[in-house]
Structure formats: C-alpha cells, structure tokens
Amino acid sequence: MNLFPPLFRRTLLSATAITAVAAAQPIMPTAGELISAPKFPQGAYFRQYFGRDIPRVELMPPVRLQDFMVGDHLELSLRGYLELVLANNTEIQIQKLTVETFKNNITGAFGRFDPIFTTSFQATRQQQQANTILAGANELSTLNQPFQAAYQQTLESGTQYTVGFGATKFSTNDSFATFNPSINSNLRLTFTQPLMRDRGAAVNRIPIMLARSRYRQAEYNVQDQLLRIIDAAERAYWAVIEQREVLRVNEGALQVSGEILKRSQRELELGAISALEIFQPQQNYAFSEIAVTQSRYNLQQAEDALRRQMGADLDPQFRNVPIVLTESTLPPSDERPLDKEQWVEIAYQKRPDLKAVLQNFDIDDLQYRQVRNRLLPDLALTGTYISSGRGGNFIPRQNNLGSGVSVASRLVPGGLGDALHHVFGFDFPTYTMGLTLRLPLRDRQAQADLANAVIAKRLDTLRARNTEQQIRLEVANAVTRVESSRASVKQAQVALDFSIKRRNAEQQRYDLGVSTIFLLIQAEQDRNRAEGDLVTRSVQYRRDLLNLLRVSGTLLEERGIATN
C-alpha cells in the first residue's frame, strides 16, 4: 500500500551517488597552492581558530658571509657576490613574500566549496492561563526543546545540497495530550540545481581560475622586480670596481706628481730652474692629493652601497671588513656585431613584464565569462525529501469530550527510539519538487559590467602593444649603447697608448733640456686622464652589457639564477 519507499530508494541512491562522486573527485588545490587549513575535529583546528597567540616575526641575520672571508677581508667574485645578494638582500625577501598573498588567494577561492555544519538547541518553558475547557488544564504548562543539525555544501557543478536532522521534545500538563512527552523528529534532504545561471564547473570554477591567473601574473611581476634588483646589485659591484680603479689611477698620478715635484725642487736647489717654475709642480701635486682623497671617499660610499645589497650592513662583524672584488675591467674581446631584431625577439619571449601584461588577456576572458553568466536567467530545480517520525509515552484517553474528567486507561512507554524508527524506516515521507525562476526584466548594472569587461580587454590589448613598442625601443637603445661602448673602449685604449708615448717622449725632451716642466706635467696629466677614461669606459661597457641582458630578460638566466 505504501507507494513511496521505491521512489524514495531511487532518490536516496541518486543523492548517495552524487555525494560519492563528490567525495571521489574532491576539488583540491595543487601541492604548490596548498596552505595550512586544518579540518574539524583535528587538534590543529582548535589551536588555529581558538588560539590567542599573536604571530611573531623574527628577522634572521645574514648568512654565508663567513664563507667568503679570506684572511681579514671579504673576497668576492661576481658569482659569489650575487649568491650573497640572493641569500640576504631584503628587497628580494620582500618580493618573495609578496607572491605568497596571491598563493593564499587560490586556497581562499576553494572556500566556496567547503562544507558547513550548523546545529542549534533551545529550551522554552511556558505557563499560561486556560481560556477554554479544551485547554486540558486550568493553568497550562509546556516545555518545548527543539534540536536541529544540518550539513550543507556546494558542489563544483553548482548543486547545493543540505542534509538535516531535527528532533523536538514537547512536554505538557494538558489532560487531552495522547503523547506526553512527545518526540517528533525528521530527516531532511534538500537540493538546488541551477539550470542556467551558475550551472556547471566551467562557471563555478572561474574564481579559482582567476586566482591562479593572478598568481601567475604576480610571479611574472616578482621576476621583473628580481631582474631590476639583480641589475642594481651588479651595478653596485661594478661601481666599486670603477672607484677602485679610479683610486689606483689617481694614486699613480700622485706618485708621479711627487717624483716630478722632488726633481723640480732639486733642480731649484741646484739653480737649474728659477723659483717661479716651482709653483706648477706644487700645484699639480696638490690637485693630485685632492683627487686621491676624493676617490677614497667615493670608494667608501660605493662599498657601503655594496654591503647593503648583500646584507653585510646588518651584521656588525662585517660592516667594516675590507672588500676585495676579483673581477677585472679588461677590454671586451667579443667583436661580433649584435643583431637588434634577434635581441628584440628574445626580449619578447623572456621579458616577465610583458608576460604579466599578456596574462591580463586570460583574466579578461574569465571576467567576461563571469559577467555573461550574471546576465542569464536564474532558473533552478529544487527538491526536498522529508522523513518524519513520532515517539514518546502514549496515553490512551477515555471520555475525552464527556462531562467527566479525561482518564488515562493505560500508559504505553516510548521515546526517541520510536521516532527514529519511523524516520529511518521512511514510513511518513514528504516529497517536494519545483522550479524557481528569477528573471530581471532589466539589469543595467550587469550590462555596464559586460561593457566594461570588453573595454578592459581592449585596453589590455593596447597596453600589450605599448609594452612591446617600449621593449623594442629599450632593446634597440641597449644594443646601440653596447656597440658604442665597445668602440669607445677601443678608442680609449688607442688614446692611452698615444698618451704614454707622448709622455715618454716629453720626458726624454725634458731630460735633454729642450722642453719645460709645464709641458712634462701636461703630458703626465693627459696620460692620467687617458688611463682614467679607459677605466670609466671599460666599466661603462660592463654596465651597458648588463643593461642589455636586463632589457632582453636574460639576466637571470645568464647569471644562473632560478626563479622557482
């Protein structure tokens, strides 16, 4: 006679199958995206959500500096220096933490699929005066104790289902009550399946895909910042070498100026020159002293900037340790011409800032799909199954409506077990199936968002073109500067050779008495300027080559730095 159990069994099996599929194919982040998210009732769950500890941040001291100590000084090649920069540079540590926020956002995007468990219990005692004879007592007293528990989750397909259980215990002094206390319980299964808006995994996974796309974009931005940080760090390295070589040249010039001054003083004492001719060597020696002093302070400033890049300024033990850099400023040996178009193509493939701009296309497409979904009618299929049960002490009554008092003939004991027997025996089911439709007759906000999504993609397309144009210009200028610097180094080398020959010739003429001390000093100054110019142009060639590696996006690869 019961027509519901077969239908219920099919419904229950379908619901069980849906739940089993959801359990067999969980929506989980990848290993690289996963952060600590403990589950109930693990101990970590209570420690994380109920703990009162405020997170503490401890800054670690710089590392590996001792590995490069040789005697009483730090001896650094370019590779060793960059290793210290990667290990201790504060700006690099900041960039590493910046990307972690976007990684956490991926885990947060999975939160919409997290299950929720809710439960409640209440107890209400009520006493009131009776107004009719049917009240069953002169002063009616009741105790109502409802309990509710529910488990709710949204699946990747957009299906929302709820499994709930409820039980209510009701006690009264009503003489007409046939169950006292009475226990009513129910098992409730409900689901809502979107049929148009928010239907399917392709739509419901958009927030996750957006978070992942923004994470990739953040990685490209970090790589771009890392390129700039390494570029600045290496420039600091070459700045120290430049100031060191300038100091060496000026010290050599000071030594030569001193020798010329001593010789002039001896000639003055012997009467070979007049007293008026001693002022020129004295002035030249004074200017050389000023140049050496200024070069020493410039070298000190460059070394302080170098210490900051590799974190040596954070450790008092290494703040004032002398630094010896092993790289030289030899003239370039590669004479091959540079192909601008080839370098431009390399930059288009390697530049992380261009990759970050192009990643906006993926973000724009996802946001467009998200807005288009909002324009669809909100049509959903809903279903509910409720299985009810009743239990408690059964009290058969006699003469309930007569003039006499209602008398209980006998008491049939019962309780929660009877109610649960009816619930899970599915003796008293209730089925509900329905369709709900929410159709905005006009949605100007969604239309505006859709138009803005189209504009955003057009803007990003133009920004990508603008970035490509800027990259082409930067690479072309960088190639030109490298070739110009390479030619300048050659010319400076030739100029130095001629200045040395002229200085030697002037020295010989002076020794023969056919030249003056003024011409000898001028030749010596020209040689010093030529040597300093060669040092400056050699270091500038290193900087220009470094700039070419940066604007082409190959600096990290050339220096053996992995960004993963």
What is the pLDDT, as a whole number, of residue 412?
64
Smallest CA-to-CA distance from 92 within 208, 280, 226, 249 is with: 226
Length of the chain: 564
What CATH number does residue 310 fall under?
1.20.1600.10
Q: In this structure, are 272 and 417 located in the same domain?
A: no
Q: What are phi and psi of 166, to 5 degrees?
A: -140, 150
Q: Are residues 211 and 305 in the same domain?
A: yes
Task: Give whole-number Cα distances, 549 to 75, 221, 224, 324, 465, in Å.
Answer: 25, 17, 13, 25, 22
Residue 475's pLDDT is 97
Residues 6 or more apart from 151 whose CB is under 8 A from it?
115, 116, 117, 162, 163, 164
Residue 251 belongs to a domain: yes
On whether residue 417 sits in a domain, the answer given is yes
Type of residue found at 190: T
Q: Domain range holding 184?
A: 117-154+159-197+378-438
Residue for token digits 């130095």? 496
Residue 230 included in any domain: yes
Instruction: Provide the CA 359 distance to its chain's centre, in angstroms.
Output: 15
Residues 217 and 132 in one domain: no
Q: Which amino acid is at 37?
A: A
Handedness of CA 299, 301, 302, 303 (dihedral sign): positive
Q: Tell me, what's the pLDDT at 9?
A: 39
How many other C-beta atoms can be found within 10 angstroms of the C-beta atom of residue 242?
22
547-550, long-range: CB < 8 A, 24+ apart: 547/231, 547/478, 547/481, 548/338, 548/343, 548/475, 548/478, 548/479, 548/481, 548/482, 550/227, 550/228, 550/231
Tell whether 495 is covered by a domain.
Answer: yes
Residue 280, in any domain of the structure: yes
Residues 309 and 452 placed together within one structural domain of the fold = yes
Domain finish residue from 404, 438, 472: 438
Q: Are residues 354 and 477 in the same domain?
A: yes
Q: How many domains in the chain?
A: 2
> Residues 542, 548, 553, CA angle at the centre, nearest 5°?
130
Handedness of CA 467, 468, 472, 478 (dihedral sign): positive
The C-alpha torsion from 332 through 337 and 343 to 345, rounded to 10°, is: -160
**Phi/psi of residue 479, nearest 5 degrees:** -65, -40
- Secondary structure (H, E, C), 396-456: CEECCCCCCCCEECCCECCCHHHHHHHHHCCCEEEEEEEEEEECCCCCHHHHHHHHHHHHH
- pLDDT averaged per 10 residues in sequence order, the chain, 564 residues: 39 37 42 62 72 78 92 93 95 92 92 93 86 71 91 94 92 77 91 94 94 96 96 96 92 86 83 80 89 95 96 92 90 81 96 96 95 93 92 66 53 73 86 93 90 95 97 97 93 91 86 78 84 90 95 94 81
> Residues 139, 127: contact at Cβ < 8 Å?
yes
Kindly state whether residues 248 and 308 are assigned to the same domain. yes
**Residue 104 resides in a domain:** no
Give me the amino acid identity at 364: D
The answer to whether 81 and 240 are in contact (CB under 8 A) is: no
Q: Is the peptide bond before 181 cis (omega within 30 degrees of 0)?
A: yes
pTM, rounded to two decimals: 0.81
Q: Do both 186 and 279 map to the same domain?
A: no
| CA distance readout (Å), 195 to 192, 208, 367, 381 | 9, 21, 21, 7
Per the rule left: phi > 0, alpha: psi between -120 and 50, beta: everything else, 513 is: left
**One domain, residues 193 and 242:** no
> Which residues are registered as beta bridge partners of 346?
none
Q: Please name the amino acid found at residue 279.
A: F
Phi first, then psi: what are they for 26, rounded to 5°?
A: -70, 150
Is the separation of the CB atoms in 534 and 498 below 8 Å? no
Q: In what order do the strands lie in the sheet with 69-70?
A: 69-70, 73-76, 323-325
Residue 150, both tokens: 């529910």
User: Angle, to 10 degrees, between the axis of helix 340-350 and the axis of helix 444-512?
Assistant: 140
Shared-domain flag, residues 498 and 386: no
- 362 in the same domain as 330: yes
